[in-house]
Structure 1
């Protein structure tokens, strides 16, 4: 059986992958935790980029397991391209895949990927613009967030401003006009940046998740998948979700497309359950399969 090594930074532990091993897929952190401070992070980046003889000190112990795997997938992060180059140099026979889970403009350009490295993205627009393979987001639910639970607020949003503050204010006002209590955590505006454990607490405590995509982004964020796996309703400005297998108008209200007069009945009706076969389409195993 083909075995796959997925390397993902601690910054992305929201995927629930740390130490996960199933269906021939081994998920490990890419780097060892570094001491806080820009100087330490800069030194790590430089040593990895130039392949310094002592750069291995920054790498997590995945090198002990890479021999078992025929392909390696790295999620984009500040040092992914450098680590991919190291893997290509030491294990040239491995199939090597770099996957953007963010827009290209927020990371390194695909042209800087090592020779022979496949480059994929979650965003259809970037795939067309840069000639990348397409593979959308996936999700691994956390047992810390019980599906279908609810708590002290009706609607929950978490994220940075990114030019969305006015739209978020309109969405929150519309929710409140329908009698919904809201918790909108905009990092740097009215909230510190939340850990993902705190995000899960917010999700567990709501009935409705709010998803607000940034301008120019076409790929799905994690919010729709969190709503899907945890049995929450979703208020979103992503019209592309109407084409997803999990879409149902009772569960997803598309801001700017659906009739505003329907928002009240949407918010106060029950969330329809989603079949396990549909959930599986957005899980880890299917995500790896889509790479071929």
Structure 2
């Protein structure tokens, strides 16, 4: 029997995927690093990063006081995590620490940033797992956030992409032109961020996750364009199977997943775009509950526990 009350998650903020309502419902202690990250805290963060110190620990939230009861601590791969690991290694050496990479290592914190620390590094990307000798866990989603709250006409699209640039803008623009030729109603919503590849493109303001789900859930298909060198699943394929919406993707690894069905998933790497309209007009085939369960937060957490038990 897993005691979820002995597990803690510390992440960036409430917008983070790891800041999960489902985790809280299980009894997991979910927190942000800092109560409020003001200018002073930002300075301490960068001092810690440069000098390998833990000065920012003075500003940690109340979760710091509860570490004595924690057996498993899950952190994301942000550079903030290093000072947390050092602090916990020193004061609570019994705590098992996991660093979770939900982006390819090539665009995230370098693996060697965590060298010399007592922690495990896990990734969603099997290519990175093999290259850097990491541990693998599948991508997950907080299903409590997958609620379509409106069916207004503005949300109804044939194809929907909402995300930041990450070097994908040019390809997304090419696809949009082709969608228009097919007379498909597409939404290509590229959000302004520090990952922009263009100085002239008119980037969009961020949407709430609730609105994102309304757009995706009312669309015929979600467009999933992965970053260069990424083989792991982004959240979009997972969102698609829970929302019961088709997927259009350039991630060829999708065809090796347990939920893959060519009637639901259109692989841009293998099928001509001329077949897209026909693909969108065929019925969606629901994914069995047993497969959906694999991608829940509870199963994601349980994978960490099973790994430790199997040692």
Question: Which TM-score bucket, shorter chain as reference?
Answer: 0.7 to 0.9
Correspondence for 1:122: 124
Deviates more, 1:144-153 or 1:256-265: 144-153
Which structure 2 residues correspond to residues 142-221 of structure 1 after superposition, within 5 A? Answer: 142-143=144-145, 145-146=147-148, 151-188=155-192, 189-197=201-209, 198-221=211-234
Pick aligned residue for 1:50 from 39, 48, 53:
53
Deviates more, 1:212-221 or 1:256-265: 256-265
Note if 1:29 corresponds to 2:32.
yes
- Asked if the contact 1:203/1:209 (under 8 Å) is kept, the reply is yes
- Asked if the contact 1:157/1:183 (under 8 Å) is kept, the reply is yes
CA RMSD of aligned residues (A): 2.6
Name the CA distance, whole Å, in 1 between partners of 2:120 and 2:146.
35
- Asked if the contact 2:85/2:118 (under 8 Å) is kept, the reply is no
Map Cα deviations across residues 151-209 of structure 1 (whole Å, 9 max, x no partner).
33221112233332332123223333333211111234333341443433432442211
Correspondence for 2:64: 63
C-alpha displacement at 1:145, in angstroms?
2.9
Map Cα deviations across residues 4-55 of structure 1 (whole Å, 9 max, x no partner).
22222217534551583244543332332323x6x75233342585222xx3
Query: 1:279 aligns to what SS in structure 2?
Result: helix
Which structure 2 residues correspond to residues 67-82 of structure 1 after superposition, within 5 A? Answer: 67-82=68-83
The gaps in structure 1 that reach 5 residues or longer are none
Correspondence for 1:13: 16
Mark the CA change 1:273 to 1:123 in structure 2 (over 3 Å): closer, same or farther. Answer: same
Name the CA distance, whole Å, in 2 between partners of 1:11 and 1:241.
29
C-alpha displacement at 1:56, in angstroms?
3.5
Correspondence for 2:136: 134
Mark the CA change 1:20 to 1:128 in structure 2 (over 3 Å): closer, same or farther. Answer: closer
C-alpha displacement at 1:92, in angstroms?
0.2
Name the CA distance, whole Å, in 2 between partners of 1:141 and 1:24.
16
Which structure 2 residues correspond to residues 95-110 of structure 1 after superposition, within 5 A? Answer: 95-110=96-111
Query: 1:86 aligns to what SS in structure 2?
Result: helix
State TM-score, norm by structure 1: 0.87
Correspondence for 1:93: 94
- Asked if the contact 2:13/2:32 (under 8 Å) is kept, the reply is yes
The gaps in structure 2 that reach 5 residues or longer are 193-200
Name the CA distance, whole Å, in 1 between partners of 2:302 and 2:17.
21
C-alpha displacement at 1:270, in angstroms?
2.4
Q: 4+ runs of 1 displaced by more than 4 Å?
A: 147-150
Correspondence for 2:282: 269
Correspondence for 1:284: 297
Note if 1:227 corresponds to 2:240.
yes
C-alpha displacement at 1:237, in angstroms?
0.3
